[in-house]
Structure 1
Amino acid sequence: MIRVSDIMDKEIINVKNGKKMGFITDIDIDVNEGKVVSFSTTGEGSGGFFSRGMDVDMIFWNDILKIGCDTIIVNIGSERKLDIDEMKI
């Protein structure tokens, strides 16, 4: 079992692009189902709860790949597919 306070201390990283997405600022729970639906984050380096007016990113529970000791790894967005002709070595 994981406590909410433990999850909010973990940094979120997107596996698609390696981008640091910041820390969780809010959790949306479906009380009828008893399940976590999504997390909100205001981005890397934001002031968390006190950062009013900042852009908020939503991370859905289904996008989480792994909750580790220090980080939460998510899979958000699409990968760019490169043609062999586009690659220059």
Structure 2
Amino acid sequence: MIRVSDIMEKEIINVKNGKRMGFITDIDMDTNEGKIMSFTITGDLGRGIFSRNGEGQVIFWNDIIKIGCDTIIVNIGSELNIDEFNI
């Protein structure tokens, strides 16, 4: 079993593009079922209550691939576009 305080210290990483998304600031739970429904995260600039635009981004429980020691790996958004890089 994992504690909520432990989850909130983990950094969110998107497996589709490798980007660091930020940290959890809020958790939405279904209290009747005792299940986590989603997380709200801040941008990667810090651990403040709000992201840069004043709102957090929502990550749904179904989007989580793995909860590790230091990170939570999620699968959201589009694939990495290799054309963005000058290789």
User: TM-score range, shorter-chain basis?
Assistant: 0.7 to 0.9
CA distance in 1, matches of 2:13, 2:55: 17
In the TM superposition, structure 1's runs of 4+ consecutive aligned residues that sit over 3 Å from their partners are: none
Does the aligned pair in 2 maintain the 1:37–1:61 contact within 8 Å?
yes
Structure-to-structure mapping, 1:1-89, within 5 angstroms: 1-49=1-49, 51=50, 54-79=54-79
Does the aligned pair in 1 maintain the 2:29–2:38 contact within 8 Å?
yes
Larger of the two Rg values belongs to structure: 1
Q: Deviations over 1:63-85 (max 9, x none)?
A: 00000000000000132689xxx
Q: Could you tell me which runs of 5 or more consecutive residues in structure 1 were left unpaired when the two chains were aligned.
A: 83-88
Using the TM superposition, give the Cα deviation of residue 47 of structure 1 relative to its aligned residue in structure 2, in angstroms. Answer: 3.7
Does the aligned pair in 2 maintain the 1:11–1:23 contact within 8 Å?
yes
Using the TM superposition, give the Cα deviation of residue 60 of structure 1 relative to its aligned residue in structure 2, in angstroms. Answer: 0.3
Q: Could you tell me which runs of 5 or more consecutive residues in structure 2 were left unpaired when the two chains were aligned.
A: none
Q: 1:30 to 1:8 in 2, by over 3 A?
A: same
Paired amino acid for 1:30:
D
Q: 1:70 to 1:33 in 2, by over 3 A?
A: same
Q: For this pair of structures, how many residues does the alignment match?
A: 82
* TM-score, structure 1 normalization: 0.81
